[in-house]
Amino acid sequence: MKIALSVWKDSISTVFDAADQLMIVDPASDKPMSRRTYHFLASDPINRAAEMKELGIDVLICGAISRPMETSIFSQGIKLYPFVRGTVDEIVNAYREKRLNQAMFFLPGCRRAGAGNQCGQRRRNCRREQQMGNHRTGA
């Protein structure tokens, strides 16, 4: 299984749509984690999602993401963990230990407050909250 994290320096990039590189890792390996960096060729949602599919990405962990980008990623069958913050090491360890749903990994504005959760925008429900249990794939 390959996971990709949208990164800037050693942290998750705040906005996936503006990120230009991915850190690709295999978190299941017992060996020291191999990492490689990939620089996107495309900037549009459809071609970015296609690039990730061609790379064999199964899971994307990222910061904020637009609806068109999210839809394109889902259409490729890639699982998505949006609205995440932290360093690459923190996030990979949290993913391995199934702790990405902890508040310390939420972007500011993404909060859990019972019914009607919002991720910093009133017009849509907190997709992060909905996906933490379901790991939507668009299928």
DSSP 90: H
**pLDDT 10s digits, 6-59:** 999 889 999 999 999 999 998 766 665 678 899 999 989 999 999 999 999 999
| Superfamily for domain range 3-134 | Dinitrogenase iron-molybdenum cofactor biosynthesis domain (3.30.420.130)
Residue 123 has pLDDT above 50, yes or no: no
At residue 43, the pLDDT reads 87
| Count, residues in the chain | 139
d(CA 36, CA 55): 11
Predicted local confidence at residue 33, as pLDDT: 65
Q: What does the domain layout of the chain look like in residue ranges? A: 3-134
pTM for the model = 0.78
Higher pLDDT: 136 or 89? It is 89
How big, in percent rounded to 5, are the helix, strand and coil portions of the chain? 30, 25, 45
The tens digit of pLDDT for each residue in 73-109 reads 999 999 999 999 999 999 999 998 999 989 999 988 7
Return the closest-CA partner of residue 38 out of 83, 74, 6. 6
